[in-house]
């Protein structure tokens, strides 16, 4: 089975995708096209169109998808609450696919049920179904393959709020967000670890391995799941100096930390942080006696990609491209997935 290597890039960061990188990717997701008045909205300027054309020239086989919604976007639920709204939303997304000659849709509804409306569980399935039907109809006219994927939350909560065990049948694959697993938390700890840590104090089971296994148990074939890598970090401040801050209580919740580029060039080398490695969790972290930073590094992404190969997963993906300016994590993922062979 050929492995997928999928990247997310923001529209403002699209210039950071080099020709060499474009040749290595199988899919590139343009993030984001948010909801606006019940429709998917994305307007590319001349520079962005120029960059997409350049990327296509570098790799004509690369599938470029529009990623709808994204973190904090709450428009999917309201838009899909009626059949008319669902049709309006999906038609607007298909217009973007046709207008910009894209290769499909990555539905990034974050997340069904966030509004407290239980019915969104079924609206989520209906959205996938309608996208699949309309993309297939478009493909019948153009003779082209159109992809439909999703960015899925990792954890029991996501399985309870969706029908992903059944609705995956409409999808080509699932990007399982095996990161952000310790967010909105006043417990400092790993957010993108492969296995469970043995340090005490972890608020819940939340490793990539666990979340992959429960998704498979819910009915999603492992051959359709991609493991996720984080090119960014989370940080906690005022963390007690116990076990170098791992799973220690803090006065405040986490916030986004530095990009991997900043970590590699500054935090690991020029600042007062010490880098540690959790052997059990297969995860790096930084600590300076007060601030704790969780992230992925070349070793952790290699181990994740090796895990994907060992378990016959569909491949691996990352968020977000411009946070790895040196292509360090990107190249490690590509090399480990052996896509160059």
Indicate if the pLDDT at residue 292 is higher than 70.
Answer: yes
Mean pLDDT over residues 63-83, rounded?
95
On average, the pLDDT of the chain sits at 97
Per-residue confidence (pLDDT) for residue 224, from 0 to 100 = 98
pLDDT tens-digit series, residues 238-263: 999 999 999 999 999 999 999 999 99
The Cα 19–Cα 25 span in angstroms is: 10
The pairing of strands 255-256 and 63-69 is unpaired
Domains by residue range for the chain, with CATH: 4-230+294-336 (3.20.20.80)
The Cα 167–Cα 27 span in angstroms is: 21
H or E element at residue 256: strand 255-256
Mean pLDDT over residues 46-56, rounded?
98
- Tokens 């509004």, residue? 115
12 and 32 Cβ atoms separated by less than 8 Å: no
Per-residue confidence (pLDDT) for residue 74, from 0 to 100 = 84
Indicate if the pLDDT at residue 339 is higher than 80.
Answer: no
Mean pLDDT over residues 269-275, rounded?
94
Taking alpha carbons only, the member of 215, 230, 211, 224 closest to residue 320 is: 230
Indicate if the pLDDT at residue 1 is higher than 70.
Answer: no
Percent of the chain beyond pLDDT 70?
99
- Tokens 């309201």, residue? 78
224 and 306 Cβ atoms separated by less than 8 Å: no
Give the Å distances, CA to CA, from 20 to 9, 17, 25, 62, 331.
15, 8, 9, 12, 10
pLDDT tens-digit series, residues 4-15: 999 999 999 999
Mean pLDDT over residues 271-289, rounded?
97
Strand, coil or helix: 171: coil
Indicate if the pLDDT at residue 341 is higher than 80.
Answer: no
H or E element at residue 177: none
- Tokens 């039907």, residue? 133
The pairing of strands 104-108 and 63-69 is parallel
Model-level pTM?
Answer: 0.98
Per-residue confidence (pLDDT) for residue 49, from 0 to 100 = 98
Indicate if the pLDDT at residue 173 is higher than 90.
Answer: yes
Q: Where are the alpha helices (DSSP H) in the chain?
A: 19-24, 46-58, 75-79, 83-99, 120-142, 156-161, 164-167, 208-217, 260-262, 298-310, 328-336
Indicate if the pLDDT at residue 203 is higher than 80.
Answer: yes
Per-residue confidence (pLDDT) for residue 340, from 0 to 100 = 60
51 and 15 Cβ atoms separated by less than 8 Å: yes
Structural tokens at position 88: 């309006």
The Cα 99–Cα 137 span in angstroms is: 16
Give the Å distances, CA to CA, from 138 to 26, 63, 91, 98, 251.
21, 16, 11, 9, 52
46 class by beta-carbon count within 10 Å (0-12 exposed, 13-18 middle, 19+ buried): exposed
């Amino acid at each position: 089975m050929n492995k997928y290597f999928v990247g997310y890039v923001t529209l403002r960061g699209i210039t950071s995708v080099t020709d060499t990188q474009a040749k290595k990717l199988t899919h590139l997701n343009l993030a984001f096209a948010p909801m606006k008045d019940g429709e998917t909205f994305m307007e590319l300027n001349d520079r962005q169109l120029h960059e997409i054309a350049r990327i296509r020239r570098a790799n004509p086989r690369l599938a470029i998808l529009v990623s709808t919604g994204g973190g904090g976007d709450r428009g999917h639920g309201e838009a899909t609450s009626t059949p008319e709204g669902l049709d309006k939303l999906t038609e607007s997304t298909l217009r973007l696919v046709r207008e910009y000659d894209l290769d499909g849709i990555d539905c990034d509804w974050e997340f069904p049920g966030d509004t407290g409306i239980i019915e969104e569980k079924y609206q989520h399935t209906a959205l996938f179904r309608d996208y699949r039907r309309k993309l297939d109809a478009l493909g019948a006219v153009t003779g082209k393959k159109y992809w439909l994927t999703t960015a899925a939350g990792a954890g029991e909560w996501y399985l309870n709020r969706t029908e992903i065990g059944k609705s995956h049948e409409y999808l080509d694959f699932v990007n399982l967000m095996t990161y952000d697993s310790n967010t909105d938390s006043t417990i400092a700890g790993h957010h993108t670890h492969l296995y469970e840590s043995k340090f005490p104090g972890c608020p819940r089971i939340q490793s990539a391995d666990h979340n992959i296994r429960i998704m498979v148990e819910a009915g999603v074939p492992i051959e359709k799941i991609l493991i996720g890598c984080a090119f960014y970090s989370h940080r906690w401040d005022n963390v007690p100096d116990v076990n170098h801050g791992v799973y220690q209580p803090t006065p405040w919740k986490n916030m986004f930390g530095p990009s991997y580029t900043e970590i590699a060039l500054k935090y690991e080398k020029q600042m007062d942080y010490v880098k540690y490695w959790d052997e059990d969790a297969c995860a790096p972290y930084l600590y300076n006696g007060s601030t704790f930073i969780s992230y992925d590094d070349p070793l952790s992404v290699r181990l994740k990609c090796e895990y994907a190969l060992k378990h016959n997963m569909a491949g691996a993906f990352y968020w977000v491209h411009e946070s790895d300016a040196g292509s360090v994590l990107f190249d490690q993922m590509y090399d480990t997935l052996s896509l160059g062979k």
